[in-house]
Amino acid sequence: MIADTFGRIHDYLRISLTDNCNFRCFYCMPEEEYDFTPASRLMQTDEIIKLAEIFVANGVKKIRLTGGEPLVRKDAAHIISALGKLPVELVITTNGTRIAEMLPVLKEAGIKTINISLDTLQPEKFFMITRRDVFHQVRSNIELLLQHKIRVKINMVVMKGLNDNEINDFISWTKHNPIQVRFIEFMPFNGNRWTSNQMFSLAEILALVEKDFTVLPIKGEQNDTAKHFMIPGHEGSFAIISTMTHPFCSTCNRMRLTADGKLKNCLFSDTETDLLTALRKNEEVLPLIQSAIWSKKKALGGQLASDFEKIDATTIQNRSMITIGG
């Protein structure tokens, strides 16, 4: 098992396959002309598989593939197929654009749950956020997943004045569709110009939903990042990831491996451990993993204030979200 000094067992690994993406969402990758990491500095297919095997041999039970957009990587199908053979729950977070062409590979790998990032149900606003005119393609691919009985979770980053007025539209979507909408509090990362007045909190989200719907809480799982809710008569449900106002650090079991092979022990950590260089030198990787997790801070990477209104995003030492991996 991989544990930290607070007794938290880390059995969930998020692997970023690439920092490349076919979207340009401002809160993730602000600049249109973004310098992607050269291929030689990225983990290669065999390196991803080898590192994953080390983690699984030491207690990891779940692997999530992220990016960037993981499915734009040319060898994504090979990676997914190989990881699907490991004794873990394999899931993926994607923007949904390449689902149709990748669906046979995803099903063959045993992926039963897919998270789709979708911040608006309005085509015009979708284009404004992503700078890409593919809204209807994404919606069609979501329907395709549902037709194939693959569980769909919708990740919606809520930003005050941008899409908070669509929260109940997303809730209405769950009435006749077995999806889970996950409202995510807007978080600060390098380059996304985060300010506290853009943040729409868990309390505000619930208050808005309760104006139009009867909301009942659902008990979550042990290491859940989200607080879960249901609405009587709805096929689907919703959840809120309240990293900024009600963080879930005390039960965190997550590790993040960036596309260039750096291990982050927290989304907000200011340090990283280079596993890829060690692997390429045929050095022992497990001690590096254990040391990195052992040094994990108690909460929020030791960087963020517990009161989100007191956070100065310009002082945070971290990467942009796209280079960390979702």
Q: Looking at the domain assignment, is residue 4 inside a domain?
A: no
Q: Looking at the domain assignment, is residue 148 inside a domain?
A: yes
Residue 93 assigned as binding residue: yes
Residue 266 assigned as binding residue: yes
Residue 252 assigned as binding residue: yes
Residue 1 assigned as binding residue: no
Q: 111-120, 247-256, 273-282: which has the minimum mean pLDDT?
A: 247-256
Higher pLDDT, 96 or 22: 96
Position 139 pLDDT exceeds 60: yes
Position 35 pLDDT exceeds 70: no
Phi, psi of 194 (to 5 degrees): -70, 135
In terms of residue numbers, what domain contains 268?
12-324
Q: What CATH number did the domain enclosing 33 receive? A: 3.20.20.70
Q: 146-160, 223-237, 307-321: which has the minimum mean pLDDT?
A: 307-321
Question: pTM (2 decimals)?
Answer: 0.90
Q: 203-207, 299-303, 317-321: which has the minimum mean pLDDT?
A: 317-321
Rounded mean pLDDT of 4-21? 95
Under 8 Å between Cβ of 25 and 19: no
Residue 194 is predicted with a pLDDT of: 46
Residue 197 is predicted with a pLDDT of: 66
Residue 140 assigned as binding residue: no
Residue 14 assigned as binding residue: yes
Residue 41 assigned as binding residue: no
- Residue pLDDT, tens place only, 97-120: 999 999 999 999 999 999 999 999
Higher pLDDT, 304 or 147: 147
Rounded mean pLDDT of 118-128? 96
Q: Looking at the domain assignment, is residue 86 inside a domain?
A: yes
Distance CA 139, CA 25 (A): 17
Q: Looking at the domain assignment, is residue 7 inside a domain?
A: no
Q: 23-37, 95-109, 145-159: which has the minimum mean pLDDT?
A: 23-37
Q: Looking at the domain assignment, is residue 2 inside a domain?
A: no
**Residue pointed to by tokens 């005050």:** 160
Residue 255 assigned as binding residue: yes
Residue 199 is predicted with a pLDDT of: 83
Q: Looking at the domain assignment, is residue 110 inside a domain?
A: yes
Residue 25 assigned as binding residue: yes
Q: 14-28, 91-105, 214-228: which has the minimum mean pLDDT?
A: 14-28
Name the domain count of the chain: 1
Rounded mean pLDDT of 45-69? 97
The CA–CA distances, whole Å, from 28 to 128, 253, 293, 325 equal 14, 23, 25, 10
Residue 193 assigned as binding residue: no
Under 8 Å between Cβ of 255 and 263: yes
Q: Looking at the domain assignment, is residue 3 inside a domain?
A: no
Q: Looking at the domain assignment, is residue 5 inside a domain?
A: no
Q: 53-62, 67-76, 185-194, 236-245: which has the minimum mean pLDDT?
A: 185-194
Q: What percent of the chain has pLDDT over 70?
A: 86
Residue 156 assigned as binding residue: no
Residue 27 assigned as binding residue: yes
Confidence of residue 257 (pLDDT cuts 50, 70, 90): very high
Nearest residue to 237 via CA among 254, 213, 253: 213
Rounded mean pLDDT of 124-130? 94
Return the SS3 of 286.
helix
